């Protein structure tokens, strides 16, 4: 698989890069961003944090707004930031902002017209990590994080793949998509009406069934306009308490759904992941 470098910018003595490649899984050209600390030029391999962005975002939102590079460089962690959906003229879309391009929901679609391209789950769990690990000086020590729709993706991907990720975190995640308007719309479109299939992409359901006890940190702003109707963190909290799962869920007064919130607490999340990514038993 051939990578094409789109841009490379020096940042905190490291490199913020953007690449394109042909995805066989998604059957289209895809783009992702990657931050490589300066240490990555040495002959050693570094752990990776995958960041999944939210509705309407691309690979550029996090890299340009979160300010994560400084701490990633200090800790020696590579950041991989994929796009949020397949792209291109041949890829189906919808006039709504919360379905289609920019709203892939990190699932494997089974319904027409989405199934031919919208296989974001397989892209993120298999194809992209294989490409990254074959190309860059990274190890197989992986963590995953995300925001909103991307928080949903990070939680579900981590919970569905025991042993693959060392830690998971999220900002303002869609915790119970089976029970919120965003999730109901997307899961019905991509997976069809059978709600037993939706359960495979619902963090609250998956956590209640999980046998692995993965470190999880969730940050949620109390002034988030989507908190009650769309995000439903208390459903995830209740599932964790019932299952005896050690979930760390923090509410922050005054913070909303924006990247100002993410930028405020991204250092905490990176240090949280570093405690696990950089610790070798």
Catalytic residues: 148, 224, 257
Cα gap 243→239, rounded to integer Å: 6
Q: Give the chain's length.
A: 281
Q: ω into residue 178 within 30 of 0, thus cis?
A: no
Cα gap 223→164, rounded to integer Å: 34
End-to-end CA distance of the chain: 34
Residue pair 6/19 in contact by the 8 Å Cβ criterion: yes
Cα gap 167→184, rounded to integer Å: 27
């Amino acid at each position: 698989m051939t990578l094409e470098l789109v841009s490379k910018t020096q940042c905190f003595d490291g490199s913020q890069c953007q690449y394109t490649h042909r995805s066989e899984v998604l059957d289209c050209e895809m783009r992702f961003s990657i931050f490589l600390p300066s240490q990555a030029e040495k002959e050693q391999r570094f752990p990776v944090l995958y960041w999944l962005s939210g509705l309407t975002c691309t690979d550029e939102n996090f890299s340009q707004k979160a300010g994560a590079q400084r701490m990633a460089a200090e800790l020696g962690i590579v950041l991989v930031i994929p796009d949020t959906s397949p792209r291109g003229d041949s890829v189906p879309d919808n006039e709504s902002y919360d379905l289609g391009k920019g709203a892939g929901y990190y699932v494997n679609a089974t319904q027409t017209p989405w199934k031919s391209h919208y296989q974001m789950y397989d892209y993120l769990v298999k194809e992209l990590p294989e490409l990254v690990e074959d190309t860059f000086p990274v190890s197989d020590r992986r963590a995953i994080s995300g925001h909103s729709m991307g928080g949903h993706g990070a939680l579900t991907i981590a919970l569905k793949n025991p042993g693959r990720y060392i830690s998971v975190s999220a900002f303002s995640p869609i915790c119970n998509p089976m029970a919120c308007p965003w999730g109901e719309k997307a899961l019905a479109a991509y997976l069809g009406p059978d709600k037993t299939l939706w359960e495979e992409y619902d963090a609250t359901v998956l956590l209640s069934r999980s046998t692995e006890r993965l470190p999880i940190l969730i940050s949620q702003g109390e002034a988030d306009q989507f908190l009650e109707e769309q995000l439903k963190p208390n459903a995830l909290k209740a599932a964790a308490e019932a299952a005896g799962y050690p979930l760390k869920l923090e509410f922050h007064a005054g913070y909303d759904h924006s990247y100002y919130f993410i930028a405020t607490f991204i250092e905490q999340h990176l240090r949280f992941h570093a405690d696990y990514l950089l610790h070798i038993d």
